[in-house]
Structure 1
């Protein structure tokens, strides 16, 4: 019978890291674990093993597994925001919304485990200021493409409805594509996004 992930033995000799390098090494090791095994297959002990450190070492940088996953999610949100920002090449509102939608879905399909982690609030600390800032930045990039520079009175401001609608469409499409609803063969989800998503987004009343 396979050993439980949390009982994996540490067989490699602990590596020597300076303080900041070990923190980043643990984040990268955690990313590798969830990429291979999915978010539900994450193990703090396996992460330490891959980083070449003792099982106790992550505790020097992260309070617990939740803290480490929050750091992974924060970096993933930063990369996600960068992808959305890079896709915004200007143009009219329809072109910008299409570009944002495609960038959103492409990121999800290219990084399914990290994308999944972004929304797993039971596993991360969504009150963490760095995580919250990275998530807000990503949404505001999409919001600007949809609503321009119009100010918002807050999260429940009805003027945000077009942006929430766009977000709901692209997030739902990404989730369906990740779950194989548009095919499971090589490139099937990407082809479906190219063929369908721009036309779906054109139905937004913005």
Structure 2
């Protein structure tokens, strides 16, 4: 059942309707005209806030990255480098499982707006900071932090995708994170 827009912030209401549509029916089901109908406004009203469908998708991706960043910043960072990476991985997987279609939208397409890329970098800033700290303490090989971060992200995003898609059963996620992070950290350890 469509929820009607009555007053307040139309842009926010449209984004909420759009996110619900994406979550329930996928990105392909999203159209500005249908969004307007569902919100109970004229078909031209969404264009006051979004130039076109791609602009709306970029705005959804931006809000997704902002929420992901908030979830990752909320992680209590303590313990070993391995423990810290595992905590970030768990938070990322929780976000992914709760928002699989949104996560796909966030990462699966090139976004035209620069603020989306900036939000993605900001979302990943907290995990990158622990890699920088670990490298400064000699726990991680010298090298480009962005390259190392990409390896960490590939592992975590892969586990998250498998979990969100139901390929990796929920009860196996903690072990997959622990094993994957431990193997990765062991490979990043400096060699004598």
Question: Aligning the two structures, in what range does the TM-score lie when normalised by the shorter sequence?
Answer: 0.7 to 0.9
What SS is found at the alignment partner of 1:31?
Answer: helix
What SS is found at the alignment partner of 2:183?
Answer: coil
User: Cα distance 1:149–1:70, how it changes in 2: closer, same or farther (>3 A)?
Assistant: farther
- Whether 1:199 aligns to 2:184 is no
The aligned counterpart of 1:108 is 96
1:75-131 CA-partner distances (Å, limit 9, x unpaired)? 111000111111243222111100011111111001111111101325x42xx2321
- Whether 1:165 aligns to 2:114 is no
User: C-alpha displacement at 1:70, in angstroms?
Assistant: 0.9
The alignment's C-alpha RMSD in Å is: 2.4
Q: How does 1:19-38 map to 2 (within 5 A)?
A: 21-38=9-26
User: Cα distance 1:194–1:87, how it changes in 2: closer, same or farther (>3 A)?
Assistant: same
The aligned counterpart of 1:83 is 71
TM-score (norm 1): 0.78
* Number of residue pairs matched by the alignment: 179
User: Cα distance 1:56–1:147, how it changes in 2: closer, same or farther (>3 A)?
Assistant: same
User: C-alpha displacement at 1:149, in angstroms?
Assistant: 7.9
Aligned partners of 1:33 and 1:46 also within 8 Å: no
Gapped regions of structure 1 (runs ≥ 5)? 1-10, 152-156, 183-187
Normalized per residue, the structure richer in helix is: 2
- Choose the corresponding residue for 2:57, options 69, 84, 92: 69
- Choose the corresponding residue for 2:163, options 174, 177, 183: 177
Looking at structure 2, the residues matched to 177 and 56 of structure 1 have their Cα atoms a distance apart, in angstroms, of 39
1:138-184 CA-partner distances (Å, limit 9, x unpaired)? 12222112232879xxxxx73433211110001111112223322xx
Aligned partners of 2:128 and 2:145 also within 8 Å: no
Looking at structure 2, the residues matched to 108 and 15 of structure 1 have their Cα atoms a distance apart, in angstroms, of 28
